[in-house]
Amino acid sequence: MAYVLPSGTTATLTDVGGASSITLNVTSITGATRSQAMAEITGLGDSVLKRIPARIDPGTVSFECYLDDTATATNHLTVIKARQTNKTQTVLNLDLPGSTIDDLLDYTGYIMEVTDPQIALGDDVLRFTVTMQVSA
Amino acid sequence: MSVLGQAVRTYLAAQTGYSTYLPGGISPDQTGQGNTSQPYAVYQSMSRQRQRLTSGVVAATTERVQVTVVGETRSSAQASANWIASKITSTPSRQTVGSLFIHHWRIEDEVSANEVYQDGSDESARIISVEIVGTYTE
């Protein structure tokens, strides 16, 4: 049965140690591209290139949050930047409601990029993008 | 039912000059039964767009409301429409009106319809429509 994203999905960002956890104001999540590097083992006498699978790169995952008007010190943007500064290993958990695949899209890694919101006059909520390097 | 329109009405009714410029009041969709005072205004929702999170929670809603002012003369209808526009633009930013938190609101299009039948005859009503666009959180 196909899974259609229903209302009620939550995304939390937790320290690997479990010390602190925040529920993100996520507007979208772009999943990681998991790629397999290929090693070339072609011999001098071979006429065709030969490659075998080498290491796997778990890739990066990025998510977009809206900027909430909470105090600067406790704002999610501040909290996420602090995790980047402190090189905190972090787990991004997606809880897909009513599903049996809750653990399928969990990512463990480090905050790699944090993009401040683009400031432009308009009706849209202000959003910032976070990119996480998946490390395991 | 226009959520923003209701907030506009609540806001305007509390402003100085309301009874002068809108003696017939401001009502949703159609004027109140038995109203004989002009100018009066009616409002209706034209569009409403919600911005949601992945959780389904609505972070903010943008709504476009048309406020139609009806007056006996062109000048009275224009004066009332100008009064509405001046009151909306005087507090364009974050505010709470009733139970609604308004991030911003503004005046966009204004359209006059002074000659409805296009036959050169004097008509009983002059109409000016003002569009108000606002983004709010309920």
Question: For residue B97, is pLDDT > 90?
Answer: yes
**Interface-testing mutation among A4, A24, A95, A123, with chain B (most B C-beta atoms within 10 A):** A123
Mean pLDDT across B85-101: 95
**Which has more pLDDT, B1 or B10?**
B10
Q: Does A5 touch chain B (CB under 8 A)?
A: yes
* pTM for this predicted structure: 0.85
Render the burial of A55-72: b for 16+ CB within 10 Å, e for the rest: eeebebbbbbbbeeeeee
Q: Does A99 touch chain B (CB under 8 A)?
A: no
Q: State residue B23's pLDDT score.
A: 95
Mean pLDDT across B42-71: 95
Structural domain tally of chain B? 1
Q: Does A123 touch chain B (CB under 8 A)?
A: yes
Question: For residue B120, is pLDDT > 80?
Answer: no
Name the residue of chain A whose CA is nearest to B60's CA.
Answer: A125
Sheet holding B58-71, edge to edge: B26-28, B40-52, B58-71, B126-137, B100-113, B95-97
Euclidean distance between CA atoms B96 and A101, whole angstroms:
42
Mean pLDDT across B123-136: 91
Q: State residue B117's pLDDT score.
A: 67
Residue B63 lies in domain: 3-137
**Which has more pLDDT, A123 or B33?**
A123
Mean pLDDT across B103-118: 84
A:63-82 residues touching chain B, CB 8 A cutoff: 66
Among B53, B62, B135, beta carbon nearest to A26: B53
Domains of chain A: 10-134 (4.10.410)
Distance from CA of A133 to the nearest CA of B (A): 22
Q: What is the pLDDT along chain A (136 residues), one digit of tens a residue?
A: 888 989 999 999 999 988 889 999 999 999 999 999 999 999 999 999 999 999 999 999 999 999 999 999 999 999 999 999 999 999 999 999 988 998 899 999 999 999 999 999 999 999 999 999 999 7
Distance from CA of A9 to the nearest CA of B (A): 4
Contact B54 A66 (CB under 8 A): no
Contact B55 A9 (CB under 8 A): yes
Question: For residue B18, is pLDDT > 90?
Answer: yes
Question: For residue B116, is pLDDT > 70?
Answer: no
SS (H, E, C) A59-127: CEEEEEEECCCCCHHHCHHHHHHHHHHCCCCEEEEEECCCCCCCCCCCEEEEEEEEECCCCCCCCCCCE
Please report which helix (H) or strand (E) contains residue A12, including its range: strand A10-15
Q: Does B51 touch chain A (CB under 8 A)?
A: yes
Cβ-based contacts of A9 with chain B (< 8 Å): 54-56
Q: State residue B112's pLDDT score.
A: 84
**Res. B30 pLDDT band, cuts 50 70 90:** confident
Mean pLDDT across B128-136: 96
Task: Give the tens place of pLDDT for each residue, B58-82.
Answer: 999 999 999 999 998 888 999 999 9
- Provide the percentage of residues in chain B whose pLDDT is more than 90: 75
Cβ-based contacts of A127 with chain B (< 8 Å): none
Contact A125 B59 (CB under 8 A): yes
- Provide the CATH number for the domain around residue B17: 3.30.2000.30
Render the burial of B10-41: b for 16+ CB within 10 Å, e for the rest: ebbeebeebeebbebbbbeeebeeeeeebbbb
Contact B55 A66 (CB under 8 A): no
Contact (Cβ atoms closer than 8 angstroms) between residue B6 and residue B28: yes
